[in-house]
Amino acid sequence: MSGEISLTGKRSGSGSSPELRASHADRDRVVDVLRIAAGDGLLTADELDERLEAALSARTVGALAELTADLPAVSVSTGTAVAEIKDVLRINGVHGGAVKRVGRWAVPRRLELATAWCEVTLDFTQAVITQALQIDMNMAGKKLTLITKPGIVVDAGALSLVHSKIKSRQAPDHGTPITLRVELVGTMAHGRVAVRPPRRTFGQWLLRRAHVPFCGRLTPSL
């Protein structure tokens, strides 16, 4: 096929046609745009779910273009406020250091952790998510913390623990569709793995307390 396909599903070039058949790569690019848009708050969870289903079943480039026509142009590699999404990201750390990935960071397709007595925190709550993630671990000592949100599932079934432990307290999904599946593989020795939702702020704690019903016994006045 002639011409290049943009991330919005539109094909450039004078000989373009909206009836050109869409390839798997075309669908994948539009899926990436939709997920980034949802991460920016441009699409609700229901809208994302509906458009993802339509993107995966679209047969033409024109059908894909309709799914992103009302969204701003976004580049997966150099888009607005989005870092380049890498195939492999390697994190090294030794002896008492701390490595954090927080805020709007781009989740790679594979993450290699090679650390010794170095604490690592990966916060996925505001991360740009476009695919599943495999974390290859070669860690000794300290702690790996994964901060999740509804729609993110962590699977540690293939992780080998040597004098280590894992504590998983994943965010309740409430029927939220899965947007990211994280698979932990490799080895953790003499350390800990913690999977948890973000901690509540003081304001959120007060709001929750205000909705807790009173269950004590009322003593009638004499």
Give tens-digit pLDDT for 19-75: 788 888 788 878 878 887 777 778 888 888 899 999 999 988 888 888 888 876 554
pLDDT of residue 205: 54
**Average pLDDT taken over every residue of the chain:** 78
pLDDT of residue 80: 45
pLDDT of residue 160: 96
φ, ψ (nearest 5 deg) of residue 180:
-150, 130
Between 122 and 130, residue with greater pLDDT: 122
pLDDT of residue 210: 57
pLDDT of residue 44: 86
Give tens-digit pLDDT for 90-123: 998 888 778 888 887 888 889 999 999 999 999 9
Dihedral of CA atoms 64, 69, 71, 76 in degrees, nearest 10, equals 40
Place 78 in a pLDDT band, splitting at 50, 70 and 90. very low
Give tens-digit pLDDT for 205-219: 555 555 555 555 545
β-strand partners of 116: 94, 140
In whole angstroms, what is the distance from residue 219 CA to residue 221 CA?
A: 6
